[in-house]
Every structure is written in structure tokens, then in C-alpha cells.
Amino acid sequence: MKLILLEKFRQIQMDSFLKNNVFSISFGTSLSKLAGCIRQIFIAAAFGVGVTYDAFNYAYIIPGFLLIIIGGINGPLHNAVVAVLTPLNKKNGGIVLTQVSIKLSILLIGLAILIYFNSSLLIELLAPNLSYEAKSIATSQLKILTPCIPLSGFIGLSFGALNAQRKFFLSSISPAITSLTTIFFILLSWIFNQENAYSHFFSYSGLLAFATLTGTLIQFVVQISEINKIGLLRLESNFQLFNDNERRIFKLIIPASISSGLSQINVFIDMFFASSFQGAASGLAYGNFLIQAPLGILSNSLILPLLPKFSKLRSDKDNRGLQKKLISGIDYCFLTTIFLTGFFITFNNQIVQLVFQRGSFDYSAALKVKNILIAYAVGIPFYLYRDLLVRTYYSIEKTNFPFKSSLAGILLNIFFDWLLIGAPIKNFGNLSPYNFGVVGIILSSVIVNFITCILLAFNLRNENIHLPNLDLLRKIILMSLAAFFDSTLCLTILKTTNNFNSNLGEFLLLIFGSLAFFVIYFLLTKCFKVNRFKVFKKI
């Protein structure tokens, strides 16, 4: 009886622990996302799609890549440190963390120095067609940002160390520090401009770079202080070049970094071709920001819960059950993403105006971002479907084909980027009469994701997972028709009511229009019998 009561008590403690941690992570992440949203609004008002923000997007490519891949939550460093430090006591864990931090920092400092003295060459390679002014600004910004590179190493390690010690809230809220610092810098510059009519601090090209560096430095100080407080900062040396736990961390980091970095190469390719168009980098940043928020929510809510089920069904050799779960996941994936595509196409005007159109973000900037947003919206279904299929392969521990398809995707992306901006050849001009500009670069990604989805879906047969592709195609067509009819109806209504001159009017229009769009789409998909979602019932 005592054992039963003790087991129940432990279960209650575990449930309470999980609930508290889920709340801490969700709350901290939500605050970070909110801070990021406000930061982007401030940047849009201050810089619009001008040359300074364009240049910053190129300058931030390399430091940002390292901050996301190495220094990010759920990045290679974070996951490796959690895996290695969790079973260790604080003393041994602290020694391992400190020794790895020192070695990694030395490596990244050397990389930062190399980047600093070759910043002009790197910008030339990343953005060969940028204007001379933009290249000059990007070069100076990259030099300012280079200290972020060694800082990213410790930030990634400390994320893992804090989570290994169950300090989840600080890890979740920490990324907001850089966002808040950027907001503070922009506000300070605005106040300074108001007090001094002859000041042009807003036009200072290094403002965003200095704000990002300062925010990263503050984040580093906060995290190193917390690491020291919990007793994981230990400078004792064991006089070994690498101990076993350090080797484990580095062995986990290297392949994971290569795998994570592969998906970022397409970003470099897109930015390379985007340098031919003024304001393209800024427009891509704003449009991508609007798309990624709902995509992230969908990915976490639809895909993540399926992966443990896939792994268990595979280990139980229940391919039929796995196949059934996957088909159900695909249905919901397309049902939600096609809705999002129709929503962004229908209400792109209201969304861009409410979020960005103020200050330096004028009508021409809004028009550019609206077109970019529509192009991004078209690719939402294929983006999430590819994500679902890739994670399915990983959950059944079959990583070879997704890796090969990623490599093929890089080559295809280069070709379609080049083709859709007119197929330019140096000294010969464009080979193709069709130049879609920055929209073509986005459509290239849509085409590549579409091809990748087809390859991944058909290859599942080799893993004894058979998808009813014709039936899925029929459902996708019917869902798309529902979104088309819904969008056409709502756009017709918007044309007759879109006479608001205030943000409040546009906001109310967006709210009530979104509700109407959702209800119509829900009813149409029910009529077409492609919507198995049941209200008030667990899926």
C-alpha cells in the first residue's frame, strides 16, 4: 500500500514538474516571439526597405547563421550539452562545460578574426550585385558583428547547461534580450533626433549592428552569471587535451552542425541572387517574418506530437499503423496550410499595413512586401509538407535519402533562382525574357520544395510505407478550390468595404474578415468531405 502511495506521489510530482516546465517554456518563448515582433515593427518604421537594412541583412548572414545554428535553442551545441551534462553532477558537469567553452571560444575567436579582416571579400561573395554604398555599409556592419561569433559558442553551450539543470525559463526568454536592446537603440535614436534637429542618428549605418552586438553581449553576461550562480562555472583544469565527455560533445556537434547548416545554404543562395534587386533583402526579411510565425506554431502543434508515435510504431513494426497516422497528419497539414495560403493572399493588404506601414515604411515599401508575402504564401503547403516528410524519415531513422534530396534541392534552387530572374549571363544579358525579380527567387523555393515533396513521398515506398497519392491529390485539389472560392468571395466583399483610413478600421476589418474566412473555409471543406476536424473533440 505504501509503495502504491509513494508511486502515486512520484507521479503527481512528475506531472507537476512537466506542467510547470511546459508553462515556463511556453511563456518564455511567447515573450521572446512578442519581443521579436515588436523589434521588427520598430525596424520597419525606422529603416523601411532602405539601403541600411538591406546591407544589415547581408552583414548578418554569417554571424546570424552561427548564432542560430551554434548559439540557438535546440541547436547542435544545446542538444549535445543536454545529452552529456544531464547525468553528471555539478562539479564534473561544470568542469566539462568550462573546458569545452574555452576550446570552442578559441576556435571561434580565430574564425571571427579571419572574418573581420576578410569582411569586404565575404560581402562581395555573398552579394556581388549590391550597390557600392550597400557593400560598404554591409562590410562595416559585418566588422561590428564579428564579436557575436565567439559569443554564440558560449550562448549555445549555456542554453544546454541551463536546460540540463532544469532552468528552462531563462533559456526561453534569453533571445528576447537582443530584440529589446534593438528596440531601445531605435527609441533612443528617435528621442535624440527629436531633441537635435541636426542629428541624423537614424541614418547611422552601424545602429542595427551595434544594437545586435550589445544585445548579444548582454545575453552572454546574463547567462554566464546564471551559470556561475548554479555552480557550473569551474576553472579547474584536468590537464587533458580532451576528456571523454568533451569528445562526446564535439562528436555530437560536428555532424549535427553540418546537417543543420545544409538547410541554411539555400538562404545564402537566395540572398546571392537577391543582391541584384534594390530593397530585396529587406523585403524578404519582412515577408519571411510574417510567414514564419504561423508556420512555427503549425509545425510544433501538428508535426512534433506525431514523431514519437512514428518512432514507437516503427519499433513495433506496425507499418500499417504508421502509414495511417502519417496520412492523417498529411490531411491536417494541407487542410491548415491551404487555409493559411488563402488567408495571406486575401488579407495581405491589411496585414502589411497594420504591422509595418508607418514611419520610413511607406506605400512603395508596403507594395513590395505585399507581393513578396503573396509569393511566400503560395509555398506554405509544400514547406510544411516537406518538413513533415523529412521528420518522418528521421523518426524512423532513415536519414540518407532526405540528405541526398537536400543536396539535390540546393542545385535545383541555384538553377531556378537563376532562371526566374531572367537567366542572366555576365556580359551577355538575360537569356530569358521572363524576369520575376525578387518574387521569382521565392517561387524558386516553392518549386524546389514541391519537387522535394514528390521525391520524399514516392521514396517512402522503399521503407514499406505506401501513401495513397491519388486520393491525397484529390483532397488537395478540393481544399484548394474551397480556399479559392472563399478568397474570391472575401476579396469581393473587401472591395466594397475597404474605405477605412484608420488603423483601427483596418484592424476591425481584418478581425471580422478572418473569422468570416475561417467559417466559410471550414464549411466548404466539410461540404467537399475533406475536413475530418471535429470541434470540441480530441483529434
43-78 pLDDT, tens per residue? 998 888 888 899 999 999 888 877 776 655 555 565
In this predicted structure, the answer to whether residue 420 has a pLDDT above a threshold of 80 is yes
Label residues 69-84 b or e (16+ Cβ within 10 Å = b): bbbbbebbbbbbbbeb
Residues 6+ apart with CB under 8 A from 488: none
- pLDDT for res 86: 63
State the distance between the two ends of the chain, measured CA to CA, in whole angstroms. 37
pLDDT in tens, 472-504: 999 999 999 999 999 999 988 887 776 666 677
Segment 149-170 shows an average pLDDT of 73
- pLDDT for res 240: 54
Q: Name the least confident of 116-120, 178-182, 503-507, 508-512.
A: 503-507
CA gap 40, 36 in Å, rounded: 6
Residues 6+ apart with CB under 8 A from 53: 43, 47, 208, 281, 282, 285
- pLDDT for res 295: 82
pLDDT band at 254 (very low <50, low <70, confident <90, very high): low
In this predicted structure, the answer to whether residue 522 has a pLDDT above a threshold of 60 is yes
Q: What is the DSSP letter of 424?
A: E
Residue corresponding to grid cell 484608420? 502
- More confidently predicted of 70 and 430: 430
- More confidently predicted of 5 and 282: 282
Question: What number of CA atoms fall less than 13 Å from residue 214's CA on the CB side?
Answer: 14
- pLDDT for res 297: 73
For the chain, the average pLDDT equals 80
CA gap 20, 14 in Å, rounded: 10
Q: Name the least confident of 52-56, 293-297, 444-448.
A: 293-297
In this predicted structure, the answer to whether residue 99 has a pLDDT above a threshold of 70 is yes
- pLDDT for res 523: 93
Q: What are phi and psi of 306, to 5 degrees?
A: -80, -30
CA gap 213, 150 in Å, rounded: 12
- pLDDT for res 482: 95
How far is C-alpha 139 from the geometric centre of its chain's CA atoms?
25
Q: What percentage of the chain carries pLDDT values higher than 90? A: 31
**Three-state SS at 511:** helix
Distances, alpha carbon 72 to alpha carbons 63, 220, 498, 529, in Å: 12, 13, 42, 42
Residues 6+ apart with CB under 8 A from 439: 371, 372, 375
In this predicted structure, the answer to whether residue 376 has a pLDDT above a threshold of 70 is yes
Label residues 85-121 b or e (16+ Cβ within 10 Å = b): beeeeeeebbbbbbbbbebbbeebeebbeebbeebee
- More confidently predicted of 489 and 86: 489
- pLDDT for res 117: 94
Segment 100-127 shows an average pLDDT of 89
Burial status of residue 534 (CB atoms within 10 A of its CB: 0-12, 13-18, 19 or more): exposed
- More confidently predicted of 11 and 386: 386
Residue corresponding to grid cell 504508421? 322
Pairing mode of beta strands 424-425, 429-430: antiparallel
The full set of domain ranges for the chain reads 32-262, 276-539
Burial status of residue 134 (CB atoms within 10 A of its CB: 0-12, 13-18, 19 or more): buried
Please give the model's pTM, rounded to 2 decimal places.
0.81
Residues 6+ apart with CB under 8 A from 12: none
- pLDDT for res 235: 61
- pLDDT for res 393: 83
- pLDDT for res 2: 43
- More confidently predicted of 227 and 486: 486
- pLDDT for res 536: 47
- pLDDT for res 1: 47
